[in-house]
């Protein structure tokens, strides 16, 4: 399966209106590619929806650009989740798991809207499902001087072998393809840094479809998950892991 062509919504409120509370079916996976460097007027609209905890977290950033990106990301998250749950963005409350993973709290949690948000540079990726564990990761491509050393420490042996079989000019692509796929799964299970990255294996070849090879040595366990890897922008890599099969992935871009 591959994602549908991106659609465009021009404003957060319009995006929320397009999804609607009934737009997400059980086998749907919605991905939103979100810009974080927004005009001041848009930032003000998004910041107004944040709660006290989010405003406090934003105030701790040393650089204004990082603060604005955090505020934009959380504001966009609220507007879109508001669309999926049929509530005002500012009315959404979050609760956090042991690893800091947020979920929708209170009565709205009964809507079974699961989500995961990742950001890198000026872009964020939001994944949304109905009652299915989901994890997403987005990474800006960059030169990694100790690429092979990092891979040896964190990749499964078979993944490392696959990386080294790639021609040297393509190993950076293979590294980011593998890294984002692994991070997406770790975020989906809510394990954070407590999950060893070598306890499961994913495909590495950046030119081939993403997929799980094994989880804890089991191909059967891996078959219970879906995994996609793609390049949402020229200089970015991304991946999404979702519990289940026969899913429909839709990629949307908010500009």
pTM for this entry: 0.92
End-to-end CA distance of the chain: 25
CA separation for the pair 215, 208 (Å, rounded): 20
Residue 83 shares a structural domain with residue 22: yes
Domain that holds residue 223: 141-229
Residue 37 shares a structural domain with residue 94: yes
Residue 24 shares a structural domain with residue 130: yes
Is 190 domain-assigned? Answer: yes
Is 99 domain-assigned? Answer: yes
For 102-247, strand residue ranges (E) read 102-104, 113-120, 123-130, 134-140, 200-202, 212-215, 225-230, 236-243
| pLDDT band (50, 70, 90) for residue 243 | very high
Contact 237, 139 (CB under 8 A): yes
pLDDT digits (tens, 9 = 90+) for 19-46: 766 689 999 999 999 999 998 888 999 9
- Indicate if the pLDDT at residue 2 is higher than 60: no
Residue 161 shares a structural domain with residue 205: yes
- Indicate if the pLDDT at residue 4 is higher than 60: no
pLDDT digits (tens, 9 = 90+) for 156-188: 999 999 999 999 999 999 999 999 999 999 999
Region of 60 please: left (phi>0), alpha (psi -120 to 50) or beta: alpha
* Residue at which a domain ends, from 106, 122, 137: 137
Residue 36 shares a structural domain with residue 99: yes
Domain containing residue 90: CATH number: 3.90.470.20
* Residue at which a domain ends, from 110, 137, 164: 137
Is 90 domain-assigned? Answer: yes
Residue 146 shares a structural domain with residue 131: no
- What is the number of structural domains in the chain? 2
């Amino acid at each position: 399966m591959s994602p549908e062509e991106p659609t465009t919504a021009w404003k957060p409120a319009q995006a929320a209106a397009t999804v609607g509370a009934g737009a997400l079916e059980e086998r749907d996976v919605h991905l939103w590619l979100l810009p974080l460097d927004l005009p001041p007027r848009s930032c003000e609209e998004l910041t107004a929806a944040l709660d006290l905890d989010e405003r406090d977290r934003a105030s701790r950033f040393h650089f204004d650009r990082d603060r604005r990106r955090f505020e934009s990301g959380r504001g966009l998250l609220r507007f879109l989740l508001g669309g999926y749950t049929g509530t005002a963005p500012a009315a959404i409350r979050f609760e956090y798991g042991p690893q800091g993973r947020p979920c929708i709290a209170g009565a709205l949690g009964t809507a079974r809207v699961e989500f995961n948000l990742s950001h890198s540079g000026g872009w964020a990726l939001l994944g949304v499902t109905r009652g299915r564990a989901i994890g997403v990761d987005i990474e800006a491509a960059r030169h990694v001087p100790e690429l092979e050393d990092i891979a040896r420490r964190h990749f499964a042996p078979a993944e490392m072998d696959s990386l080294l079989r790639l021609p040297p000019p393509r190993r950076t692509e293979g590294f980011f393809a593998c890294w984002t796929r692994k991070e997406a799964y770790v975020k989906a299970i809510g394990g954070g840094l407590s999950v060893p990255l070598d306890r499961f294996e994913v495909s590495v070849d950046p030119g081939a479809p993403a997929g799980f090879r094994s989880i804890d040595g089991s191909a059967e366990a891996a078959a219970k998950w879906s995994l996609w890897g793609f390049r949402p922008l020229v200089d970015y890599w991304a991946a999404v892991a979702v519990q289940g099969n026969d899913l429909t992935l839709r990629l949307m871009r908010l500009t």
